[in-house]
Chain A
Amino acid sequence: MVSSSKIALSAYELVEEVKVGSISVEDYIASMIERIGSMDERINAYITLNDHALEEARMIDKMVKGYSNDNGSYATKSLLGVPLAVKDNISTQGIRTTCASRMLEDYVPLYDATVVKRLKGAGAIVIGKTNMDEFGMGSTTEFSAFGATHNPWVYERVAGGSSGGSAAALAACMASIALGSDTGGSVRCPASFCSIYGLKPTYGLLSRYGLISYANSLECIGLMARSVLDLALMLKVAAGSDMQNDHTSIDANSSISLDLESMNHDLKGMRFATIREIVESEGTDEPVRDSMFDALSSVERLGAVVEEVSIPSLRYALASYYTIAMAEASSNLARYDGVRYGYTAQPDGVAWNEFYSKIRSNFGSEVKRRIMLGTYVLSSGYYGRYYMKAQKARALIRDEMLKVLNHYNAIMLPTMPILPPRIGERISDPLRLYMVDICTVIANLAGIPALSIPYSMYNGLPIGVQFMARHLDEPLLLRIAYALESARGDKVRRCMI
């Protein structure tokens, strides 16, 4: 077994040890599974563990020891032996993928999502599938058919959502890196609440193939890690056009360079904008605002200039976002009807409408709510008033955001306007819960990259700060995070060990 300090290694540190043979991947994975066994009953980060993880680990050990005839190709694998947690709405061949829904409780995909395939190709080992809000619909990981995920830092608080399981698994060192998905903040919110890094890449930079659709035009697979370098490592492997599977992917390999070694620890010459409408909003908690201002002086000390701007159309961001998300969701989730896969019953002698209605009543309450609203905004007579209007508002917001980004390198915001709520505290008031997504949805509406950086703690509760950049300017976001990582000092702890 490996020591607990080793369990908390960054992925890039782990890979180095694996390659020189100082850590056995089998031992490492076994230790991690044991750790999950002892901790996860309380945290509930995982829905399913990969039965073949140890087997895959042994294969890697063999490669490193030269017992297999891979001709030393392992040396080029940048995630060799790294335990990877995968959100349970990302398809994994042979490992059940539930979307935290009863409707898919025994669904086993026939294929790997493109991003999973790429990470596995680089040597990562899928350790398990993580808990989430059902189909990604929520901001707390409470709307799960498998129970809520608890925040590893403060047990009675939520881990954030919808990728709460992935964030909690990282914070509790039950994985080294993780995949989430981000439709309106679902990677950044739990990253902020669990004190890890969460990157929502430019729309299309990572293939969506295998990501089970909730709101196609908004969502992407997101990357989660405990260090900036790990994030960069993952991004290098995961990014790239996937025209074989996904027409919405973009070819950006040439325009993204991730040379972290040459990165500066300062932010000289950078110009950042904060958004008045959000910073001054009543909905923003005091400790969050304080943390934000603290981060602001940190980046100024690092040489950046920060100015406040106004984006009036942001008033419509949530209405636009939820209208589009729900409309797309209502259509995407129509396929869960008990015929080809998933939850079902005997169809013999059952009238078809009754059959569908009965099967589909097994969606959770939040999913049903969004399907109903999505059905409404698309129904005849309302399309122009809601859906079309929402898409126009979206275009307006995108244009105004891009205009700001013409003058500034990045937009700086809190990730979440609130501290992690107590479990059960917000679940009964849907609209109030939607409101907390205000700082995150704007990146999804505009399709631009955004990164949540762990910045501080308030009474043991993590607080993140968020940066958004121009399309494909992920390197800038990583550079900012890299600079802040050293500047923030001891304000945050990296993981619960």
Chain B
Amino acid sequence: MVGVEEVRHLAHLARIGMKEEELRLYTEQINEILTYFNMLDELDIGNDIEPYRMSREYKAMRDDIPVAFSAGNALSNAKNVKGRFIKAPKMG
């Protein structure tokens, strides 16, 4: 079972601000859904089965050819700018 404090920590990890009542509601729902997910526990699959993955030959990867982006202003969607810089909150 996941408690409210653990959900608060999850909200912090995901950087999603939440009010107390939201935290309580999510705690309840997350527990219900995790209980459902727990059925994966009964699945006894050891290392004989590879987890699902796509693979590709290394030769299929991109060539090292530079092409500068020129189709528009890369900053056009940024609202907090200063000169050519993008403004962000300060760390710490």
A residues bordering B, Cβ < 8 Å?
93, 107-108, 110-111, 204, 217, 243, 247-248, 315-316, 318-320, 322-323, 330, 334, 337, 339-342, 344, 346-348, 350-358, 360-361, 363, 368-369, 371-373, 375-377, 379, 385-386, 388-396, 398, 430-431, 434, 445
Q: Are B15 and A319 in contact (CB under 8 A)?
A: no
Q: Are A357 and B16 in contact (CB under 8 A)?
A: yes
Minimum CB distance partner of A352 in chain B: B89
- Give Cα A430 to B33, complex, Å: 8
Task: List the A side residues contacting B80 at CB < 8 Å.
Answer: 339, 344, 346-347
Minimum CB distance partner of A347 in chain B: B89
Task: List the B side residues contacting A111 at CB < 8 Å.
Answer: 71
Q: Are A377 and B37 in contact (CB under 8 A)?
A: yes
Task: List the B side residues contacting A373 at CB < 8 Å.
Answer: 30, 33-34
How would residues 28 to 41 of chain B score, 1 for a CB under 8 Å from any chain A CB and 0 otherwise? 01101110110111
- Give Cα A344 to B74, complex, Å: 17
What secondary structure prevails in chain A residues at the interface with B?
helix
Q: Are A395 and B61 in contact (CB under 8 A)?
A: no
Task: List the B side residues contacting A316 at CB < 8 Å.
Answer: 39-40, 43
Minimum CB distance partner of B50 in chain A: A395
Ranked 5 nearest A-B pairs via Cβ = A341-B77, A391-B51, A361-B17, A357-B17, A356-B15
Besides A344-B79, A392-B43, 12 more A-B contacts (Cβ < 8 Å) are A248-B54, A323-B37, A340-B78, A346-B80, A350-B89, A361-B17, A372-B7, A372-B10, A379-B13, A395-B51, A430-B33, A445-B52
Assuming A247-B61, A248-B54, A388-B51, is B14 touching A371 (CB within 8 A)? Answer: yes
Q: Are A375 and B43 in contact (CB under 8 A)?
A: no
Contact of B89 (CB < 8 Å), options: A248, A315, A351, A369: A351
**Can you sample 30 A-B contacts with CB below 8 Å?**
A110-B71, A110-B74, A315-B39, A316-B43, A318-B36, A319-B39, A330-B14, A339-B78, A340-B77, A340-B86, A341-B78, A342-B77, A346-B80, A352-B88, A352-B92, A354-B89, A371-B16, A372-B14, A373-B33, A375-B10, A390-B40, A391-B52, A391-B53, A392-B51, A393-B43, A395-B50, A396-B49, A398-B52, A430-B29, A431-B29
Q: Are A393 and B45 in contact (CB under 8 A)?
A: yes
A65 to chain B, nearest CB (A): 30
Task: List the A side residues contacting B86 at CB < 8 Å.
Answer: 339-340
B9 to chain A, nearest CB (A): 9
Interface size, B (range): 35 or more
- Give Cα A217 to B46, complex, Å: 22
Q: Are A376 and B51 in contact (CB under 8 A)?
A: no
| B60 at the binding interface (Cβ < 8 Å) | yes
Assuming A316-B40, A352-B90, A361-B16, is B30 touching A376 (CB within 8 A)? Answer: yes
Task: List the A side residues contacting B77 at CB < 8 Å.
Answer: 107-108, 110, 340-342
- Give Cα A350 to B89, complex, Å: 6
Minimum CB distance partner of A399 in chain B: B49
Assuming A322-B37, A389-B43, is B87 touching A358 (CB within 8 A)? Answer: no
Task: List the B side residues contacting A395 at CB < 8 Å.
Answer: 49-52
Q: Are A376 and B2 in contact (CB under 8 A)?
A: yes
Task: List the A side residues contacting B52 at CB < 8 Å.
Answer: 217, 391-392, 394-395, 398, 445
Task: List the B side residues contacting A354 at CB < 8 Å.
Answer: 17, 89
Minimum CB distance partner of B19 in chain A: A361
Task: List the A side residues contacting B41 at CB < 8 Å.
Answer: 385, 389
- Give Cα A377 to B14, complex, Å: 12
Task: List the B side residues contacting A351 at CB < 8 Å.
Answer: 89-90, 92
Q: Are A360 and B17 in contact (CB under 8 A)?
A: yes
Q: Are B49 and A319 in contact (CB under 8 A)?
A: no
| B91 at the binding interface (Cβ < 8 Å) | yes
Q: Are B56 and A247 in contact (CB under 8 A)?
A: yes
Minimum CB distance partner of A203 in chain B: B54
- Give Cα A377 to B41, complex, Å: 13
- Give Cα A337 to B80, complex, Å: 12
Contact of B60 (CB < 8 Å), options: A247, A371, A379: A247
Q: Which of A107, A108, A389 has the most CB of B within 10 A?
A: A389
- Give Cα A179 to B32, complex, Å: 34
